[in-house]
Structures are given as structure tokens and as C-alpha cells.
Amino acid sequence: MEGDEQMRVLCICMAMVCLLGFSSAWAEEEKTSRKPIDMRYTIYGGAQFYKMSGEFGYIKDGQPDIEVDEDDLGLDDTSISPIVGAIINFWDNRLTLRLDYFGYHEDATEVNEFRFEFDDIVFDVGTILKSDVDLDLYVANLSYNFIRTERARFGVGLGVHAADMDIQIRGTAVVGGIDVPIGTGEADLLAPVPNIYVMGAYAFTDKFLFKGGGGGFRYFDADIEYDPGHKKETYKFSLPGPVAYITAGF
């Protein structure tokens, strides 16, 4: 799973580099001396440190609603996620497009403490649960800058988070000292989540293109319901925590 995550982040970075490369010819005039606040392109990378909370529910054919959270599965709720992104200013800096990626990827083994059903698999008390949770968030926000000065920008806009979730729970029962596989329940869902976006920027000096930043805080919260007709799945999760990153602009 770690290899898949590294490949996913690498692909995103390569896509951003290609986007900026193809756009450079179109923006030839931007090679003139500009202040950091006026940079058309900014790319960044870093990490988010957060305490994740989440739960999911699975209801089928009118059965009782049982919710399972990350503690029930033994998942570590404190994690560090790589983040990458790009910011593109256009229309004389009136509009700003921001692209982001971050995620949550954990696995754990835990002894089940209550009976529940997930993806047609029943996990009884005492079952050994091996869980894998992959949550990737791809974000695009477009904002209009109401404040545009030589040093500052402030804008409000709309965006969308594409939440790509993959949950796997494998159950094993111990019978007479022998491990007996029960089965694997899996949920794979790609859900668009709209959001309101607020952004601000300030240039402290006239001439620097590279800077470090930290102390920022990001909070993401989602409540998703999936109902194909014969069952209903619910997913609730939040990812609050500080962000540290470095940026480069041109």
C-alpha cells in the first residue's frame, strides 16, 4: 500500500509539472520581473499533521444500523499525510485556481468486540479483523479576488473535493487453534463533495520566489451517504490539523 501511495503522489507531481510546462509558452510575458504576490504559478509540497475521526455504517434490508469507527478497527487516528498542490492566477490576478492533494492511509489488526455486517460479510465477536483504509482527496477551488493590492490578495469562491475511499476488512476466526478465513468486505467509492473556499495571501518583501511556511491549519469534514437501492452505506470523517509546506513561484 505504501508503494501505491508513493506512485500516486509521484503521478500527481508529474502532472503538475507537465501542466506548468505546457502553460509556460502561453505566458511568455510573465518572465518579466514580478513581485511574489503577482506570480502566475505557485507549486508547493509538505505535510499535514492531523487527528482523524471517522465512522461508517452499513444497513441492508432493514437490518439494525450499526456504525463502526476507526477505534473499533484499531486504526491509528493520528497520522501524517503528504500534500502537494499548485496555484494559478489569471485574468489579471482576479481569479485564482488552486489544486490540492492529501489523504489518509492506515491499516490495523484488532479483535472484534461486537457483531456487525459489512459488504454481506458477518463479523462476529472475537473475529480477528485486518483493516485497510485508503482515503485520497483531490481538490479544485476557483476563487475571485475581491482585494488586490501590491502586497495582499483576498478572495472567495467555490470548489469540489473528490473523495476516493477504499475500505477493506478481512475477518479470520480461530477454531480449535486453526485460523479460518471468514471473508473480505470491501467498499470502494468516489464521491464529489462541494465546498466554499476562502483564500488570502500577503507578500512581505518585493523580491523572493521561494519561501517556507508553517503554522497553517486545515479542517476537512464530510458526511457521505450511498444508497444503490438494496443497501445504504454512510461515511463520516473529519481531518483537522496543522499544515507545513514550502512553495516555489514563477
**Residue-level pLDDT at 211:** 42
132 Cβ neighbours under 8 A, 6+ residues apart? 1, 106, 107, 166, 167, 168
**Residue-level pLDDT at 144:** 93
**pTM beyond 0.75, yes or no:** no
* CATH class assigned to 2-249: mainly beta
Inform me whether the pLDDT recorded for 212 exceeds 50: no
Q: Residue 143 corresponds to which cell in the numbers above? A: 476563487
Inform me whether the pLDDT recorded for 6 exceeds 80: no
Inform me whether the pLDDT recorded for 126 exceeds 90: yes
Inform me whether the pLDDT recorded for 158 exceeds 80: yes
Which residue in 247, 243, 160, 154 sits closest to 202, CA to CA?
Answer: 154
| Average model confidence (pLDDT) across the chain | 77
DSSP category for residue 12: H
Beta bridge partners of 190: 164
Beta bridge partners of 239: 220
Confidence of residue 101 (pLDDT cuts 50, 70, 90): very high
Q: Residue 8 corresponds to which cell in the numbers above? A: 500516486
144 Cβ neighbours under 8 A, 6+ residues apart? 94, 95, 155, 156, 157
Inform me whether the pLDDT recorded for 24 exceeds 50: no
Inform me whether the pLDDT recorded for 204 exceeds 50: yes
